[in-house]
């Protein structure tokens, strides 16, 4: 009960008639998720703008990636060594290099025209064919058709090395032979087993005129067993025998 003339207490005052002073002393609690007012709202906007800028900059392409991708192969933009396009490209480059270097090699040794008896003797043994420049030239022509001319070239280079006595020249020729016929990077690499390759690598520490003897013998046997029988049945050999037979008959 309230006595006559007694003022109502603040608790009994209707909420709609509350004073502004009470509002200032007891601010209404913020609703979760509601954007703050005044300076706090400005601060939040600045933070949002900063986050947006950082996100945009993080997704921008790095310099050079676009150009790099345009020059990449069809499978990947990195052009790594395992890419199949790069493998094909390297094979094409090796083939082109092989053609250029083959053009720079003399087509044959100096030799006189063989007789019918000499050519017929080639069929008796591979050794008789390899003893004469004319026989080596005919066999080399056949090897060129089978894309294995490097076997004869390597054999000839080893024979030339054995004729040298000057140490400096021997070292230089041995280095060239290694680069042209032993190195796996060369388009004229010959086929050698791992044992012979290891021997050559040891010999190259102190090159001599006999550094490639084992390799030369292995390539000689390869030509004897693999290429020589096909040469004897080739059109190159048959045409040569027929041509010499006709000349012999005319004379």
- CATH number of the domain residue 238 falls in: 1.10.167.10
Please write the tens of the pLDDT for every residue from 64-92.
444 444 344 433 333 444 444 444 444 55
Specify if 132 maps to a domain.
yes
List CB contacts of 7: < 8 A, sequence separation 6 or more: none
Specify if 194 maps to a domain.
yes
Please write the tens of the pLDDT for every residue from 156-182.
999 999 999 999 999 999 999 999 999
Specify if 101 maps to a domain.
no
pLDDT (0 to 100) of residue 73: 42
Whole-angstrom CA distances from 158 to 85, 107, 169, 189, 231 are 37, 18, 13, 14, 23
Specify if 129 maps to a domain.
yes
Tell me which residues of the chain have a pLDDT lower than 70: 1-107
Residue 119 in contact with residue 139, Cβ under 8 Å? no
Specify if 27 maps to a domain.
no
Range of the domain at 174: 116-250
Q: What is the tally of structural domains in the chain?
A: 1
Residue 65 in contact with residue 78, Cβ under 8 Å? no
Specify if 137 maps to a domain.
yes
Specify if 241 maps to a domain.
yes
Specify if 88 maps to a domain.
no
pTM score of the predicted model: 0.58
């Amino acid at each position: 009960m309230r006595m006559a003339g007694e003022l109502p207490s603040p608790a009994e005052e209707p909420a709609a008639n509350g004073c502004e002073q009470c509002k200032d002393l007891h601010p209404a609690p913020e609703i979760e998720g509601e954007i703050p007012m005044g300076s706090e709202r400005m601060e939040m906007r600045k933070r949002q703008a900063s986050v947006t800028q950082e996100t945009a900059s993080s997704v921008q392409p790095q310099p050079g990636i676009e150009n790099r991708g345009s020059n990449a192969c069809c499978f990947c933009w990195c052009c790594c060594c395992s890419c199949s396009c790069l493998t094909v490209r390297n094979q094409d480059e090796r083939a082109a290099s092989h053609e250029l270097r083959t053009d720079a090699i003399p087509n044959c040794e100096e030799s006189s025209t063989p007789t019918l008896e000499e050519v017929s003797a080639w069929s008796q043994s591979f050794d008789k064919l390899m003893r004469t420049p004319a026989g080596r030239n005919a066999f080399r022509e056949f090897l060129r058709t089978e894309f294995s001319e490097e076997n004869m070239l390597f054999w000839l280079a080893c024979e030339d090395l054995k004729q040298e006595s000057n140490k400096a020249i021997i070292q230089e020729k041995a280095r060239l032979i290694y680069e042209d016929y032993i190195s796996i990077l060369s388009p004229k690499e010959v086929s050698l087993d791992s044992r012979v390759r290891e021997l050559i690598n040891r010999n190259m520490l102190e090159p001599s005129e006999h550094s490639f003897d084992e390799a030369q013998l292995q390539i000689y046997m390869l030509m004897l067993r693999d290429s020589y029988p096909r040469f004897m049945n080739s059109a190159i050999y048959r045409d040569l025998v027929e041509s010499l037979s006709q000349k012999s008959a005319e004379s």
